[in-house]
Amino acid sequence: MPTIQSMPGTGSDEEISDDDNIPDAQPTYVTSRQSTTPLASWDVFRDPPPPNASLSENSDKYMSVTVKCLKVFAYLLTFAAVLVGGVITKGIMLLMASQLKNKKTLPLCTRDYNNLRPEKDYMVTIPAAENVAWAWMIFFAYIIPEMGSWFRSMRMCIFKKWTRAPFID
């Protein structure tokens, strides 16, 4: 009866006796890129790619590095655009909300009026009609994105297939 050594990586060095039906732990084919480690019978089709030998293949490495750098740049640019847009919209909302105070008085700039005395401070009161206009601007600033989402949802419901969610969900 022949004896067979245990497979590499099994952790056992004792000999196992069996019949001749078990294949050796050597690959069934020979290539020019033969690995120094023996392959197990279940891993004989492992074929790692060859090292880059030509200049055109090496330039692909530089191309992949360039693509990665461009992706990072695109991520940073997108982050900056979203951050700046968010700050601007939040500032505009705060500006509109600050205009809603009733009977708001502000100092008048006398530089544009030649017939007013510059040494005297003039105050102006904002009329109620302007407060109403600012309230409508805030309403439209909030409702327009909601209407866009509603139109998109209705378009998807009307022109595309959809299924109703189960009651349990």
Report domain extents, the chain.
Answer: 61-101+129-162
pLDDT score for 147? 96
Residue 48's closest CA among 61, 29, 35, 30? 35
**What stretches of the chain show up as alpha helix (H) in DSSP?**
55-98, 128-159
**Distance, first Cα to last Cα, the chain:** 66
Residue with tokens 């998807």: 156
* Mean pLDDT of all residues in 82-105: 91
**Considering just the CA atoms, what is the radius of gyration of the chain in Å?**
38
**What pLDDT band is residue 39 in, cutting at 50, 70 and 90?**
low
Q: What is the pTM of this model?
A: 0.49
Residues 6+ apart with CB under 8 A from 46: 35, 39
**What pLDDT band is residue 80 in, cutting at 50, 70 and 90?**
very high
| CA geometry: angle 153, 158, 159, nearest 5 deg | 100
- Is the per-residue pLDDT at 33 higher than 60? no
Backbone angles phi, psi at 9, to 5 degrees: 90, 0
pLDDT score for 4? 52
**DSSP 8-state code for residue 14:** S
6 neighbors 14 (Cβ within 8 angstroms) = yes
Round the average pLDDT of the chain to a whole number and report it: 77
Residue with tokens 């009866």: 1
Q: How many CA atoms lie within 13 A of 107 on its CB side?
A: 6
